[in-house]
Chains A and B, each alone.
Chain A
Amino acid sequence: QKEVEQNSGPLSVPEGAIASLNCTYSDRGSQSFFWYRQYSGKSPELIMSIYSNGDKEDGRFTAQLNKASQYVSLLIRDSQPSDSATYLCAVGSYNTDKLIFGTGTRLQVFP
């Protein structure tokens, strides 16, 4: 089992819709969770961080964490074509002392 799993996609949503990106992780000692956006050929850009169970909202983005289910998600409301990118889930754990990245989900927002 991979340490951090994401569906590779592509996830295609129409402009204005809600995009839902999911991530599961295997290490129950994980305590920090991040979502990064990466455009093709560019480096990752931090979108959200979340450390405790529940929802965290920032503008059009909402991160959701459920440690019992070992699940973290990112919702993007009012999706725009400029949101089209690969979204990386990253998880930090005391057991590994590093961030483990998923392979990313490619999001396509079509007009």
Chain B
Amino acid sequence: GAVVSQHPSRVICKSGTSVKIECRSLDFQATTMFWYRQFPKKSLMLMATSNEGSKATYEQGVEKDKFLINHASLTLSTLTVTSAHPEDSSFYICSASFQGYDYEQYFGPGTRLTVT
């Protein structure tokens, strides 16, 4: 149980384009979903927290107009990186929780974004 999928697993895009990443909880309803970013040999950095049907809460320093998050249902959240630049290249990972941040979070397999 507690399986989270993420699509695509890898994406290469040109600078200035937008990329959408999907995160789905396959066998449970996720009240809360989280989006993280991880640079090589660095720890996970939380970008935003989203609850179904409400606006995402972004961490300090994360541009909400650049990283658009939609949590349309209890099983689906999307992250859109708008006008991507090479510095946005990173490993983006979503996680989902039955309840909130202080309960177990189950991670998707991640999306490796490369912006050329």
Interface residue ranges, A against B (CB under 8 Å) = 31-32, 34, 36, 42-46, 49, 88, 90, 92, 94, 97-99, 101-104
B43 lies within 8 A of A99 (CB): no
Interface residue ranges, B against A (CB under 8 Å) = 34, 42-44, 46, 49, 59, 93, 101-110
B103 lies within 8 A of A43 (CB): no
Count the A-B residue pairs with Cβ separation under 8 angstroms: how many? Answer: 46
Write the nearest CB–CB distance from B32 to chain A, whole angstroms. Answer: 10
Chain A residue numbers with a CB within 8 Å of B42 are 103
Smallest CB-CB separation from B44: which chain A residue? A101
Interface residues of chain B: helix, strand, loop or mixed (majority): loop
Write the nearest CB–CB distance from A13 to chain B, whole angstroms. Answer: 22
Q: A43-B93, A45-B107, A46-B106 are in contact. Are A98 and B44 (CB under 8 A)?
A: no
Chain A residue numbers with a CB within 8 Å of B44 are 44, 88, 101
Other-chain contact of B107, A44, A92, A97, A104 (Cβ < 8 Å): A44
B102 lies within 8 A of A42 (CB): no
Other-chain contact of A46, B102, B105, B108, B110 (Cβ < 8 Å): B105
Chain A residue numbers with a CB within 8 Å of B101 are 92, 97-99
B104 lies within 8 A of A34 (CB): yes
B110 lies within 8 A of A92 (CB): no
Given contacts A31-B102, A36-B107, A99-B102, list 14 more A-B pairs with CB under 8 A.
A34-B105, A42-B109, A43-B108, A45-B107, A46-B105, A88-B43, A90-B105, A92-B101, A97-B49, A97-B101, A98-B49, A99-B105, A101-B44, A103-B42
Chain B residue numbers with a CB within 8 Å of A92 are 101-102
